[in-house]
Amino acid sequence: MIVAERKPIREILKMIEDYQKILILGCRACVTACAAGGQKDVEIMGSIIRIDRKRRGLPVEVYEKTIDRQCDPLFFAPIDNLITKSEVVLSMACGVGVNMLAETYPNKVVLPALNTGFMGLLEEQGVWAERCIGCGDCILAETAGICPLSRCPKHSLDGPCLGSINGKCVVYPENQCVWYVIYERLKTLKQLDKMERILPFKDWSKTVSPRRVIREDLRL
């Protein structure tokens, strides 16, 4: 999933300062799973905004809505009225959702309530961790399904650095060294010979923005 987290409240309140009719728009996809922008988070955000305005004696009208996905304009149609009557949409989706809104509604101010982080998974309750950098050229077949690029702060493609001691990362000692994890797993899989292989130079051109996937067979 795409992992995001709420921006600091002060930053959000400052962004919406000049607006009175605010639509807080949640997304039921990734940001619901990482507890950042789902229905519950939308309700909390609405409550916070109302408390703030009440405290300062300023008027506000907050609409709260959560849709299935914000990265597909299909899901905007049923709430088109709501978007139209709001002065501003405070999107609680990932950056993609914010972009989609902005591209779909040229005349509407769209603001992000989240900071979008990475592609990752739930490591333990309340802890999400990166597992893929989207390098466009997957090497997981070589590394026992464990990604060294997303889990090594130095993006090491060739093994542990000198500071990796007893399986601990030198930069983030609370983490395991990803090359230790790879090594242990390859051992279990009886594929340790893969540890001896020098991987080719990474082709970073596959990560150059803006990236696109084009499927001619599907194009109209």
Partner 1 sequence: MVVCFYCYHSGVGEKFWAQIERSSGELKKVRVDCTGKLDILSLLKPFEDGADKVIVLGCPNEECHNLTGSYKAKKRIQYIQQVLEDIGLGKEQIEFITVPRWVGVNA
Partner 2 sequence: MKEVNGLERKISEGKRPILAYYHPPATVDLAPVQMAADLLKVADAVVVADNPGAVVHMHPLVAASVFLEKGIDTVLELECRDKNRLALQSEILGALALKIRNFLCMTGEHQTQGPQPEAKGVYDLSPVHLIQLMKIIEQGELLDGFRLGEVPSIFIGAMVNPFARPVELHFFKLLKKIKAGAKFLITTPIFALEEFKEFIKELKQRGFLEKTKVFATIMPIKSADIARVVSKDPSVHLPERICARIESVPEQNQAQEGINICVEIMKELKEMEEVSGFHIMAPHWCEVVPLLIERVGLR
Return residues touching partner 1 (CB under 8 A).
8-10, 13, 40, 43-44, 47-48, 50-52, 54-55
Site size toward partner 2 (CB under 8 A) is: 29
Residue indicated by tokens 């930053």: 11
Rule CB under 8 A: say whether 195 interacts with partner 2: yes
Taking the complex as a whole, the smallest distance from the CB of residue 16 to partner 1 amounts, in Å, to: 13
Residue the block writes with tokens 């500071």? 163
Q: Give the amino acid at 161.
A: C
159: contact with partner 2 by CB under 8 A: yes
In angstroms, what is the minimal distance from the CB of 101 to partner 2? 29
3-state class percentages of the chain: helix first, strand second, coil last, to nearest 5: 35, 20, 45
> In whole angstroms, how far apart are CA 63 and each of 96, 123, 211, 216?
21, 33, 34, 41
Q: Which of 119, 67, 75, 64 is nearest to 93 (CA)?
A: 67
Show the tokens assigned to 156: 């090491």
AA letter at 52: D
Q: How far is the CB of 156 from partner 1 (least distance, A)?
A: 36
Binds 134: which of partner 1, partner 2, none (CB < 5-8 Å by kind): none
The partner in contact with residue 136, picked from partner 2, partner 1, none with C-beta cut-offs of 5 to 8 angstroms by kind, is: none
CB-nearer residue toward partner 1: 43 or 87: 43
Instruction: Name the residues that contact partner 2, by CB under 8 A.
Output: 153-168, 170-171, 173, 179-180, 183, 192, 195-196, 198, 201-202, 204
